[in-house]
């Protein structure tokens, strides 16, 4: 009998297939004592296993490229952390086996992360994956991970580690469903980049039987168990209609009555450029520069290395717009040379622009490298600061850009509610705003973007979040300056229409989402988008807002 479950849709598309479950996590190794004379041998085993796992994660990152590479390299650094290695060796010296020492050492790290504020707690899944891989290698058992199958299937998991998501084969994995996670978790972002339909935060997903046929809608978040022939036909018809709309859609982003909405790509480095160009991106709305800094957390990359990487991206968009975000370090992206060693709540501490203003040499080098990279190119370079709280922050950043001789537009990201509430004040110092809806939701609702239990508060359809977007867009309009969205909210075709109706001037997203958003915008007039936006803001919940906007746009 057909039943319907509802999670959070995080990656567009429809998938129909049989359930396959993620490989079982490594069991807890027994707590047995070893003789003192075996300690040195066990320590060597532990070091070899940790080095091998780090190498494997790095290799997976190199294969995956793009945003996934940075995430996996950060995991590799976890496996090679000198303090972790020293802790493991101490435990072995007092009688633990290598596998038990690794398990216990990482358990203590896990407890520290879980208690270090919600933002860092989101890294627990990544740490668990590192632990499981090291312990599996030591025990000589298969790595936990994606099941082997010759036939396409829908993957079910409690959560997916970045190492698993990054290398999913979309010819075999039709889609995936997880119990944990949220719309802006690493796995959700990587799923969108892969173009794999995905639903997260679905309670009871693990109880779906192996081999059960299900259908998932990665837009609505619905999962249909044992779908009827009628439901299958309807879903397949919807999917075919979407494909037809996508193939017919091309050119710049615009509403049906010609109101232009540039559609830009979010990228993590040069490896993401090809997909953005292929998708017809009109430029880059968010160039995350962190990928350059993750190779070595002890020191910043040289000006020469930065210049070469930035120029690669700028050259790919002649005459186009490229918006570069300067280094956003801190919270879940700590760097030894930049961020404080210990903070009670890093997400609310010295992060983003705050870190850079404390280390003006790092900011100056990056801005100088960007200036050099843009020399002689016709590209429209724009540079923005993360975590701007007020006008003083915006002025400090603009002053630093001018001092570095940067000939570009200077902007501010709106990720903190204060910046949205005082957007006109911020715009006295900078030339554009870019709304990072992922962090803006996190700070508005005190809801960690990585924690599935609070995913409803991370839903970008929350009316309170739409109110903040409207405030920022209105400020931009009043000052005659642009206000775009570069958070994952822009990747939702229906929400993209609402954001346009709120007055947002550009939309930036993962490359795979651009055709969907282009096709959706082309169906409606600006007036229809404005009416949908008003209906969404007048709602009392995210679900009501979504339904209200859909009703307006469908003419109900």
Structure tokens at 52: 């091998």
DSSP-assigned letter for residue 476:
H
User: Using an 8 Å Cβ cutoff, are 291 and 69 in contact?
Assistant: yes
pLDDT tens digits for range 365-375: 999 999 999 99
Q: Is 259 a catalytic residue?
A: no
Q: Is 186 a catalytic residue?
A: yes
- Rounded (10°) CA dihedral 154, 158, 162, 166: 0
Angle at 332 between CA 269 and CA 507, to 5 degrees: 50
pLDDT tens digits for range 191-211: 777 778 999 889 889 889 888
* Catalytic residue chosen out of the listed positions 12, 186, 359, 497: 186
What is the model's pLDDT at position 121?
Answer: 46
pLDDT of 190 > 50? The answer is: yes
Q: Report the phi/psi class of residue 330: left, alpha or beta, with left for phi > 0 and alpha for psi in -120 to 50.
A: left
User: Using an 8 Å Cβ cutoff, are 526 and 259 in contact?
Assistant: yes
Angle at 280 between CA 511 and CA 328, to 5 degrees: 40
pLDDT of 400 > 60? The answer is: yes
Q: Which residues lie below 8 Å from residue 530, measured CB to CB, with a gap of 6+?
A: 501
31 by Cβ neighbours in 10 Å (0-12 / 13-18 / 19+) ranks as exposed
pTM: 0.70
* Catalytic residue chosen out of the listed positions 12, 401, 483, 486: 486
Q: How far apart are CA 12 and CA 16, in angstroms?
A: 13
What is the model's pLDDT at position 66?
Answer: 66
Among 160-164, 207-211, 255-259, 548-552, the range scoring the smallest mean pLDDT is 160-164
Q: Pick from 432, 417, 506: which is nearest to 462 by CA?
A: 417
Let me know how long the chain is.
556
pLDDT of 182 > 80? The answer is: no
Dmax (CA) for the chain in angstroms is 79
Q: How far apart are CA 103 and CA 131, in angstroms?
A: 6
Strand, coil or helix: 152: coil
**Which residues is 212 bridged to in the sheet?**
none
Structure tokens at 485: 């969205």
What is the model's pLDDT at position 120?
Answer: 44
Q: How far apart are CA 490 and CA 538, in angstroms?
A: 20
């Amino acid at each position: 009998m057909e039943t319907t479950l509802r999670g959070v849709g995080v990656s567009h598309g429809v998938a129909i297939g049989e359930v396959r479950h993620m490989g079982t996590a490594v069991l807890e190794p027994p707590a047995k004592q070893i003789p003192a004379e075996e300690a040195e041998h066990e320590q060597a085993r532990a070091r070899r296993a940790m080095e091998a796992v780090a190498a494997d994660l790095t290799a997976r990152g190199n294969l995956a490229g793009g945003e996934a590479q940075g995430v996996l390299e950060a995991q590799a650094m976890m496996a090679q952390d000198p303090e972790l290695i020293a802790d493991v060796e101490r435990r072995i010296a007092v009688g633990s086996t290598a596998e038990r020492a690794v398990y216990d050492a990482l358990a203590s790290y896990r407890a520290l992360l879980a208690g270090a504020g919600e933002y860092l707690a989101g890294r627990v899944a990544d740490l668990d994956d590192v632990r499981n891989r090291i312990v599996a290698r030591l025990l000589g058992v298969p790595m936990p991970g994606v099941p082997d199958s010759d036939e396409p299937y829908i993957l079910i998991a409690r959560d997916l580690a970045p190492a698993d998501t990054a290398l999913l084969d979309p010819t075999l994995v039709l889609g995936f469903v997880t119990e944990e996670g949220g719309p802006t978790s690493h796995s959700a972002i990587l799923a969108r980049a892969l173009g794999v339909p995905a639903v997260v935060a679905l309670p009871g997903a693990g109880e779906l039987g192996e081999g059960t046929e299900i259908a998932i809608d990665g837009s609505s978040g619905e999962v249909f168990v044992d779908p009827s022939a009628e439901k299958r036909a309807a879903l397949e018809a919807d999917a075919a209609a979407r494909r037809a709309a996508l193939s017919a859609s091309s050119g710049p982003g615009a509403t049906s009555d010609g109101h232009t909405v540039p559609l830009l790509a979010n990228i993590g480095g040069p490896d993401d450029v090809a997909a953005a160009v292929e998708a017809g991106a009109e430029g880059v709305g968010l160039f995350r520069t962190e990928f350059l800094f993750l190779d070595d957390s002890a020191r910043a990359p040289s000006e020469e290395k930065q210049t070469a990487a930035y120029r690669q991206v700028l050259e790919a968009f002649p005459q186009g717009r490229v918006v570069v975000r300067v280094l956003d370090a801190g919270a879940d992206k700590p760097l030894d040379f930049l961020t404080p060693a210990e903070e009670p709540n890093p997400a609310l501490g010295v992060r983003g622009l705050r870190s850079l203003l404390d280390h003006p040499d790092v900011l100056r080098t990056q801005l100088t490298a960007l200036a050099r990279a843009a020399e002689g190119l016709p590209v429209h370079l724009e540079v923005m600061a993360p975590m701007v709280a007020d006008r003083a922050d915006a002025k400090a950043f603009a002053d630093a850009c001018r001092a570095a001789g940067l000939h570009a537009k200077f902007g501010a990201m709106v990720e903190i509610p204060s910046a949205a509430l005082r957007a006109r004040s911020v715009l006295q110092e900078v030339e554009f705003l870019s709304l990072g809806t992922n962090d803006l939701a996190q700070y508005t609702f005190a809801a960690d973007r990585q924690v599935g239990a609070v995913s409803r508060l991370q839903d970008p359809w929350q009316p309170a979040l739409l109110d903040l977007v409207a405030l920022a867009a209105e400020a931009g309009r009043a000052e005659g300056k642009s206000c775009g969205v570069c958070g994952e909210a822009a990747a939702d075709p229906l929400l993209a229409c609402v954001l346009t109706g709120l007055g947002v001037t550009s939309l930036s997203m993962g490359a795979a989402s651009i055709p969907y958003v282009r096709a959706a915008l082309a169906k409606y007039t600006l007036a229809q988008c404005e009416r949908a936006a008003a209906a969404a803001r007048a709602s009392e919940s995210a679900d009501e807002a979504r339904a209200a906007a859909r009703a307006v746009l469908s003419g109900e």
